[in-house]
Amino acid sequence: MTDTFEEKLEELRKIVRRLEDGDASLEESIAIYERGALLVKQCEDILGTAEMRLTELGRDR
């Protein structure tokens, strides 16, 4: 799991475009959606960690 936040976000954008195109099979769409859900969770975790770090930095002033 060495992808950056920006790489995860870009993959998520590609997933959204692919699902919006509607040309994937049902099984493929489900797999794509599951990957997207995982990426959303990973991005939320990264943002949560960044928010905690910024909060800590603000307290150190």
pLDDT tens profile 2-57: 699 999 999 999 999 999 999 999 999 999 999 999 999 999 999 999 999 999 99
Above 80 in pLDDT, residue 1?
A: no
pLDDT of residue 60: 76
- pTM, full prediction: 0.85
Tokens at residue 22, please? 């509607």
CA dist., res. 60 & res. 6, Å (int): 28
Domains held by the chain: number: 1
Structural domain range at position 43:
5-59
pLDDT of residue 59: 85
CA dist., res. 39 & res. 19, Å (int): 15
CA dist., res. 10 & res. 46, Å (int): 15
